[in-house]
Structure 1
Amino acid sequence: VMTHRRQYPVQAGRRTVIDLLALDPLNPRSILFQLERLKAEIGMLPSSGGEGHMSPAAKEILQLNTAIAVMEPSDMTAQVIDDLANEIGGLYNSLAKAFFG
């Protein structure tokens, strides 16, 4: 609530909450911020994609990061949010499989 009040001089609404919690690249709690971090961190891990190629997990992170980075709050319908949750779950499984067997 404090962060929202600092960034938005208006009452909390669907658009501003989605912007803050999903699309704000500077908010450490936002989906986009976390995906940006994952994108940076995965580059430091050994790649199973071969020399000069991205691993499947890195590709998933990049695709998901790009999809969210170009979204507007109005694009994030309930169905889109559900789909993102499923994709993030799939990403978790890909990372676990690639790096933890």
Structure 2
Amino acid sequence: MRLGINLRGDLAKLQNDELASHFEKCLTYREWLASHAGDRANRWLYKSGLAMPFGRGPLHARICYRIMGLAYGGSWNGLNGRSLGDLFVLDCEIKDVVDEIKRREHAAQRHRTRR
């Protein structure tokens, strides 16, 4: 599971099918964004993990991801969403969705064992 404080109540409110749809959209957009964000050298630094050594940080919330994305990935390229900061925010979103799916699976498993 995650280390940090979960402030993503918006994901907990989604139904399972809505969460799965959101996850698929994020993955599709990430595929495209990974090859278009930043320049080649910065993409390599990002991919290797050297550019973002602290991961998502202690507070798991979109606003925190945006602030860290700005610090890590430099300025966002206006409204077109093609910077490494945008890629960082999207990767954090994907990790949060995966954590929510795992949390639901764990809760369902606990519920089954209690019966």
The bucket for the TM-score relative to the shorter chain is 0.3 to 0.5
Q: Which has the higher contact order (CA 8 A, sep 6+)?
A: 2
TM-score normalized by the length of structure 1: 0.36
TM-score normalized by the length of structure 2: 0.32
